[in-house]
Amino acid sequence: MNGIELIKDQLEKAFYAGAWHGPSVMESLENISAEQAISKPVKNVHSIWEIVLHINTWQAITQRRISGEIADPLPEEDWPEVKDSTQNSWEHTIRNLKTGITKLLESLSKLDENILTENIRGKNYSYYFLIHGLIQHEVYHAGQISILKKTLS
């Protein structure tokens, strides 16, 4: 495997399954209803739903950055509000999350491995740093979701 393939493998494991650390994002989200996702069982902590929207934002920002855009989220994009807390809306949120990772993985597939050491446009860090940062971000939030999920049991 080349560098891009190795990075994609780690991102897929952090998102879908097979991560060394434990449950992936999607494994953590298994069997969570809209009611559970919107609840805030811990005071002053984001809900699972808010975390999912945040993960989706950063997948999109990363995808845009590796496509050459200068992209930074506005505060309301970084931690979006849940505007519709129905089960249908929750399922739509999960579909969007899956679509986001698919687009990101497709964008990664188009990268030349030599670009990994180059800086992202408008940033003082490399593609390698950005993508590994996103993987760490996925892992971090999968852990948060897992803990919140346990408080709901």
pTM above 0.85, yes or no: yes
pLDDT tens for residues 60-97?
999 999 999 999 999 999 999 999 999 999 999 999 99
| CATH code (residue 16) | 1.20.120.450
Q: Which of 45, 48, 43, 36 is nearest to 153 (CA)?
A: 36
The mean pLDDT value for 3-22 works out to: 94
Q: Domain limits at 77?
A: 3-151
Question: In this predicted model, what pLDDT tens digit does every residue of 56-66 receive, in sequence order?
Answer: 999 999 999 99
What pLDDT does residue 11 have?
97
Indicate the SS3 state at residue 119: strand
- Please tell me the total count of domains within the chain: 1
pLDDT at 1 over 90: no
- Both tokens of 150, joined, read 């346990």
Measured between alpha carbons, how far is 116 from 132 in angstroms, rounded to an integer? 11
